[in-house]
Amino acid sequence: MSTKQSTYRHVVDSFKNALGVGEATIETSLFERVVFYLAMGLTLLVTLFPFYYMTVASLLPESTLYTLPPTLIPTEITFEHYRTVFGPETFPFITYFKNSFIVSVVTAGASVVIATFGAYSFARLDYRGRGIFSRGVLMVYMFSGILLVVPMFQVIVWLGFVDSLASLFITYLVQTLPVSLYMLGNYFRSIPEEIEEAAIMDGYSRLEVIFKITLPLSAPAIVAVFFFTFMIAWNEYLFASIFLQSQSVFTLPIGIEALSSSFRQVWGQIMAASLLTSIPLIVMFTYLEKFMVEGLTFGAVEG
């Protein structure tokens, strides 16, 4: 190989490495690459098509929405469905959105705070009964909503919390606590204990260690847990459907379901509402993707 050629190869390789495409091109044949990109394209098509179609349908005027063949690439778009969704005439979408948001933020915030202390206790402090407590929490993780729905309904009626967001807050908080405890506990155990021991040697108390060392180091995990508990509360349908009765306290899942069952052929509005409901989760996920993926590997989240 001449010097000129090897210099050229070197430059190409370093560019490829810088772009992160180096490895793939070394050993694979053209045929393999074609198959790979076809398979990837198919995977992405199956995964993303419903979201694309949701977006398109929310923008199509009624006249093209209900025709065959279905429109895949809109030639004419309208924001009419969004206007209807935000207008107070058909259904109070903004109220539902606000209710969902309040319940989810409060649930996620409280769950993270309570679980941070609990998980630290499991992960680092030594006391009798710790093993039973932490295994017990894992067991609870396996209980389904349907096992709780009848007794919880009785309890909520007895407490007088029916038809209030408080009923959801209590239920969701406790449903998310085992997940949060488990994820944060696993994360705390992955932080080297020596760092904390060194701080204790320096005269810090345990609580100071938690606030000044463990919590700052755990920021990614805490963000991930907040997101997942928010997601669980944002999605919850079962308990909301039995506890809530009046429109003013409906959350998004109940509200959109009510819209679809009381009107016929309102797909445009439902698709617009569905897209708007997805936005908070997708925005959070896009910003926090790295933490999310990391967080998920620390504890499987029910879904």
Subset of 199-238 contacting another protein (CB under 8 A): 206-207, 231, 234-238
Whether residue 220 is preceded by a cis peptide bond, meaning omega within 30 degrees of 0, is no
Using the rule CB under 8 A, which residue among 130, 135, 189, 212 binds another protein? 130
Q: How far is CA 205 from CA 115, 168, 194, 214, in A?
A: 20, 37, 15, 13
Among positions 150, 195, 198, 219, the unique one binding another protein when judged by CB under 8 A: 150
Residue ranges in 52-71 that form contacts with another protein under rule CB under 8 A: 53-54, 57, 65-70
Give the C-alpha separation, 116 to 114, whole Å.
Answer: 6
Segment near another protein (CB under 8 A); pick from 4-12, 83-91, 109-117, 214-222: 109-117
Give the one residue of 102, 105, 166, 174 binding another protein; rule: CB under 8 A: 174
**145, two tokens:** 């909503």
First to last CA, the chain: 57
The nearer residue to another protein, 4 or 202, going by C-beta atoms, is 202
Among 122, 226, 250, 291, binds another protein (CB under 8 A): 122
Check binding of 282 to another protein (CB under 8 A).
Answer: yes
CB nearer to another protein: give 30 or 125.
125
Tell whether residue 7 is a contact of another protein (CB under 8 A).
no
Instruction: Pick the stretch among 43-51, 85-93, 190-198, 212-220 that binds another protein (CB under 8 A).
Output: 43-51
Instruction: Choose the stretch contacting another protein; rule: CB under 8 A; options: 73-81, 138-146, 191-199, 218-226.
Output: 138-146
Q: With binding defined as CB under 8 A, does residue 302 bind another protein?
A: yes
Nearer to another protein among residue 11 and residue 48 (C-beta): 48
Q: Decide: is 247 part of the binding site for another protein (CB under 8 A).
A: no
Q: Are 54 and 274 in contact (CB under 8 A)?
A: yes
Of the candidates 256, 260, 254, 259, the one whose C-alpha atom is nearest the C-alpha of residue 237 is 254
Using the structure block, give the residue that is written with the tokens 């398109």. Answer: 56
Asked if residue 252 binds another protein (CB under 8 A), the reply is yes
| Distance from C-alpha of 99 to C-alpha of 166, rounded to nearest angstrom | 11
Q: How far is the CB of 4 from another protein (least distance, A)?
A: 28
302: number of Cβ within 10 Å: 13
Q: Does 299 bind another protein (CB under 8 A)?
A: no
Dig out the tokens for 57 from the structure.
Answer: 């349908």
Helix/strand number for the chain, H first, E second: 16, 0
CB 229 within 8 A of CB 112: yes
Instruction: In whole angstroms, give the CA distance from residue 252 to residue 275.
Output: 12
How many residues form the binding site for another protein (CB under 8 A)? Answer: 97
